[in-house]
Amino acid sequence: DLRIGTAVAGGGHHVDQPYPDPFPNDRPYRRVLAKEFNSVSPENQMKWEFIHPERTKYNFGPADAIVRFARANGQVVRGHTLLWHSQNPTWLSEGTFTKAELRQILKSHIFTVVGRYRGQIQQWDVANEIFNENGEYRQENIWIRELGPGIVADAFRWAHQADPRAQLFLNDYGVEWPGVKVDAYETLAKQLLAARVPLHGFASQAHLSMRYGAPDQLAGVLQRFDDLGLKTAITELDVRMDLPEGGVPTAEQLATQASYYKTVLDACLAVDDCNSFTIWGFTDKYSWVPVFFPAEGAATVMWDDFTKKPAYYTLRDTL
Ligand code: XIL
């Protein structure tokens, strides 16, 4: 029952790039998207700044198009994301609101967005990246800063009311190895479960760089959450590398990349309730990596022209 997913490109880093289309109108892209995956995640199209650009205006077009595409192709959708410090609209991040107003803004956003796609989203990343590397709540997160960490539980409760069938997740990066950040999530998960908050899963984004070594302890981390009765997922896997002069990776780099991808898939396969494995885009053509990590790239499983890298074949042969 393992779902194999990808992010669907559009918006985000693409805004300043030559392809502003919120869901690339690119036939080979869409063909591969339909054929190779049975789960899709909007890369940006359900984030606050896209779906809720003004206080009284929602922009559902791009997200609707992805949900429609998924339905037409027998795919499930992972919703991303509801409570995050980043990619919030200016009206929100620079507005002045009372605490009561902010709480109402979040509640009504969650009911509106989750409610719109009720029954059509398999998993929602309700809370995204809420902890710093040191295990403390991120104070850049407007909701946590202004309303306190208890708002996380409320967000889960509201999302559950809006779509009782959606599986609700905590999602973060930097949780691929054990450490204080993972400990913080484990403590939070236990607290939420003890308080009967509808938390269903814990997800590792798995944005990896070959600079930092293979994620060889990931299965153990996922198992800790599985042991709490939670589902686990890999939600944003990519494996970036330092590009040699000329920009073309060596065969050795590609082999190492393939082995990282395999390590992550093996970790998910080793854990009972890890049933969603998503890569953050399948082609370098639309990858966010070169925009965000200067000098690194080639992070996905296909080249710009959709030909396949060793990582693609390794994943396929592991499944
Ligand atoms: C990234 C997108 O890929 C970019 O297009 C956008 O400009 C910035 O965000 N963690 C997340 C994702 O949860 O939403 C981020 O996606 C990557 C890191």
Residue 61 and residue 10: Cα distance in Å, rounded? Answer: 12
**Cβ-proximal residues to 2 (8 Å cutoff; 6+ apart), any chain:** 268, 269, 274, 275, 276, 277, 319
Given this model, what pLDDT does residue 42 score? 98
- Window from 8-17, 129-138, 261-270 with minimum mean pLDDT: 8-17
Given this model, what pLDDT does residue 15 score? 43
Beta strands in 154-301 (DSSP E): 167-172, 201-204, 207-209, 231-242, 274-279, 296-297
Which of 49, 176, 186, 236 is the catalytic position?
236
Say if ligand 1 is within 6 A of residue 226 CB: no
How many domains would you assign to the chain?
1
Given this model, what pLDDT does residue 17 score? 56
Q: Write out the residue range of the structural domain in which residue 260 sits.
A: 3-318
Q: 72 C-alpha to center of ligand 1: Å?
A: 25
Q: 43 C-alpha to center of ligand 1: Å?
A: 7
What CATH number does the domain containing 113 carry? 3.20.20.80
Tens-digit pLDDT profile for residues 127-159: 999 999 999 999 999 999 999 999 999 999 999
Beta strands 3-8 and 274-279, pairing class: parallel
Tens-digit pLDDT profile for residues 207-217: 999 999 999 99
Six-digit token pair at 98? Answer: 């009372």
User: 129 catalytic, yes or no?
Assistant: yes
pLDDT at 306 over 60: yes
User: 245 catalytic, yes or no?
Assistant: no
Q: 142 C-alpha to center of ligand 1: Å?
A: 18
Mean pLDDT within 243-247:
94
pLDDT at 266 over 50: yes
The answer, yes or no, to whether ipTM is higher than 0.95 is yes
Which of 43, 49, 129, 176 is the catalytic position?
129
Residue 191 and residue 298: Cα distance in Å, rounded? Answer: 40
Name the band, by pLDDT with cuts 50, 70 and 90, for residue 14: low
The answer to whether residues 8 and 79 touch, using CB atoms and an 8 Å cutoff, is: no
Six-digit token pair at 150? Answer: 């208890």
pTM, 2 dp: 0.98
Beta strands 231-242 and 296-297, pairing class: antiparallel
